[in-house]
């Protein structure tokens, strides 16, 4: 069921490498290419505003399927409109937004399918792991498939095949159950908007939702160096060919392996402790990267390590989201989209901070040293603070429960 998230991974994979290559072949400037990519990825944050749509009238399977098909159609249209930049940009942004909405609808749907007896969160962690494997695998598959098809076949054939590839994971939906209560809730909310707005207001006031938002908005598991290291590979004396090899199949395999380790660890740790533990371990790894000499091997270790920790962190985050949503939540997709959007924001602001540290230095450390020190140090402090806050709130909650019982 987690592999059904492949639509999101495939669409994201197109933005990373095939999109810049496609536009460069049309003689689009690097500045404009970067602006288009940034505009597309920004939808990963802001599309949560459309989240309530996914919980109204129709089942979440209907929405997940419809938006997966729209993502495939949008990508096909973008490829055919690549010579018309404004139309291309509109089509590719629509495609990525649709893929994100499909993923959010799927996340809300998965939360309703977790068994009631999953008290340890193991099944939630397994679902989180496979959704992230689908994302990483989709990135790799799209990079290879788009590169070959755009080079070897006609634009029309490439557009149809790649569009179909993006929509293909939706076939898994045919074998996934749809709880009848989910459909009844969606129809009721669509018929009674007063109840819908009350539910939405109640959601935004829930203590667990607010605490989870705070946890994700803090840089506890962002690992934003995954987006930065590729641009400073020259500091490690790594060639473009070497970076491509490391960032291709090796990254996909390493990331997927990291994701699948999370359910194993979840047998011993609760999702919250596991999430903060992964974040803290990753921060220590980042700080240790201050020690080795700057060689291509060091780049490979740093790049793969940061991506593996990020993949593990996102896996644990999905498990936390599924647990926070619960099994009978009428706004499951809305909440899933809101919480997962919060995990993306720290990547943006930590990326800015990393770039500033690299350019201007901090505490006598410049370049790579400043970047590693700030990223690892700030994130480690965030992990410690959030652990203390969650521990204190947990103790307070138990004390309150005991007092009320007395």
Q: Please give the structure tokens belonging to residue 355.
A: 């770039």
What pLDDT score does 168 carry?
A: 97
- For 122, other C-beta atoms within 10 Å of its C-beta total 15
Which pLDDT score is estimated for 264? 92
Instruction: Work out whether the CA dihedral 45, 169, 143, 24 comes out positive or negative.
Output: negative
Say which residue the tokens 């706004």 belong to. 331
Q: How far is CA 17 from CA 24, 397, 400, in A?
A: 11, 48, 53
Identify the CA nearest to 102 among candidates 2, 3, 1, 8.
8
- In contact, 111 and 185? CB cutoff 8 Å: no
Q: Report pLDDT for 11.
A: 94
In angstroms, the CA 349 to CA 367 distance is: 18
CA–CA gap between residue 114 and residue 269 (Å, rounded): 18
- Taking CA atoms, 211 is separated from 119, 122, 272, in Å, by 20, 21, 11
DSSP 140-159: HHHHHHHHHHHHHS-HHHHH
| Per-position DSSP letters for 205-247, written without gaps between them | H-HHHHHHHHHHHTTSS--GGGGTGGGGGGGGT--HHHHHHII
For the domain covering 2-405, report its CATH number: 1.20.1250.20
Q: Which two tokens stand for residue 50?
A: 């459309």
Q: Which two tokens stand for residue 96?
A: 């990525």
What does the block give as tokens for 79? 């490829």
DSSP 365-397: B-HHHHHHHHHHHHHHHHHHHHHHHHHHHHHHH
Q: Could you tell me the two tokens for 295?
A: 């060689």
Backbone angles phi, psi at 313, to 5 degrees: -65, -45
Query: Which pLDDT does position 399 carry in this prediction?
Result: 46
For the chain, give every domain's residue range: 2-405
- Between CA 165 and CA 337 the distance in angstroms is 24
Instruction: Classify residue 84 by its DSSP letter.
Output: S
CA atoms of 132 and 106, how far apart (whole Å): 13
Q: Which residue has the tokens 């459309």?
A: 50
Backbone phi, psi, residue 365, to 5°: -100, 130
The answer for 364, left when phi > 0, alpha when psi is -120 to 50, beta otherwise, is left
Length in residues, the chain: 406
DSSP state, 329? Answer: -
Helix (H, G, I), strand (E, B) or coil at 187: helix
Which pLDDT score is estimated for 394? 66
Q: What are the 10-residue block averages of pLDDT along the chain, 406 residues in total?
A: 95 85 81 78 82 88 96 96 91 94 95 80 90 91 87 92 97 92 78 70 80 91 84 84 78 89 90 92 95 92 92 94 87 91 87 84 81 93 92 60 47
Please list the helix, strand and coil fractions of the chain in percent, rounded to the nearest 5, in that order. 85, 0, 15
Instruction: Determine contact, residues 146/14, Cβ cutoff 8 Å.
Output: yes
pLDDT at 40 (0 to 100): 82
Q: Do 337 and 99 meet the contact criterion of CB atoms below 8 Å apart? A: no
Under a CB-based contact definition with an 8 Å cutoff, are residues 16 and 36 in contact? no
Helices 122-152, 271-288: axis angle to 10 degrees equals: 50
List the one residue out of 315, 219, 316, 206 whose CA is nearest residue 270: 316
- Of 160, 291, 275, 156, residue with least CA distance to 222: 275
Cα–Cα dist 318/314, whole Å: 6
């Amino acid at each position: 069921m987690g592999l059904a998230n492949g639509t999101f991974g495939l669409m994201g994979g197109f933005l990373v490498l095939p999109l810049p290559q496609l536009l460069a072949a049309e003689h689009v400037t690097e500045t404009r290419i970067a602006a288009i990519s940034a505009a597309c990825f920004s939808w990963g944050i802001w599309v949560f505003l459309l989240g309530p749509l996914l919980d109204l009238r129709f089942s979440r399977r209907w929405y997940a399927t419809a938006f997966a098909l729209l993502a495939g159609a949008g990508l096909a249209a973008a490829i055919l409109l690549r010579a018309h930049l404004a139309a291309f940009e509109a089509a590719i942004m629509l495609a990525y937004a649709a893929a994100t909405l499909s993923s959010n609808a799927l996340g809300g749907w998965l939360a309703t399918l977790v068994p009631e007896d999953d008290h340890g969160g193991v099944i939630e962690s397994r679902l989180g792991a496979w959704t992230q494997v689908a994302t990483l695998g989709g990135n790799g598959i799209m990079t290879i498939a788009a590169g070959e098809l755009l080079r070897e076949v006609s634009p029309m054939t490439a557009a149809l095949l790649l569009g179909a590839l993006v929509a293909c994971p939706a076939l898994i939906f045919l074998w996934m159950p749809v709880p009848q209560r989910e459909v009844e809730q969606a129809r009721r909310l669509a018929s009674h908007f007063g109840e819908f707005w009350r539910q939405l207001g109640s959601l935004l006031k829930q203590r667990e939702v607010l605490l989870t938002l705070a946890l994700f908005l803090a840089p506890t598991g962002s690992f934003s160096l995954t987006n930065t290291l590729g641009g400073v590979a020259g500091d490690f004396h790594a060639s473009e060919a070497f970076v491509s090899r490391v960032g291709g199949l090796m990254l996909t395999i390493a990331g997927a392996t990291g994701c699948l380790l999370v359910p194993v660890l979840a047998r011993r740790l609760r999702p919250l402790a596991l999430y903060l533990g992964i974040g803290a371990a990753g921060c220590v790894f980042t700080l240790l990267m201050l020690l080795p000499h700057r060689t291509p091997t060091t780049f490979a270790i740093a790049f793969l390590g940061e991506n593996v920790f990020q993949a593990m962190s996102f896996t644990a985050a999905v498990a936390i989201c599924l647990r926070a949503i619960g099994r009978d939540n009428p706004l499951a997709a809305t909440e899933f989209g809101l919480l997962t959007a919060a995990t993306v924001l720290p990547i943006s602001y930590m990326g800015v901070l990393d770039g500033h540290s690299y350019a201007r230095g901090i505490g006598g450390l410049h370049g790579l040293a400043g970047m590693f020190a700030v990223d690892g140090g700030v994130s480690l402090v965030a992990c410690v603070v959030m652990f203390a806050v969650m521990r204190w709130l947990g103790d307070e909650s138990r004390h309150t429960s005991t007092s009320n019982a007395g």
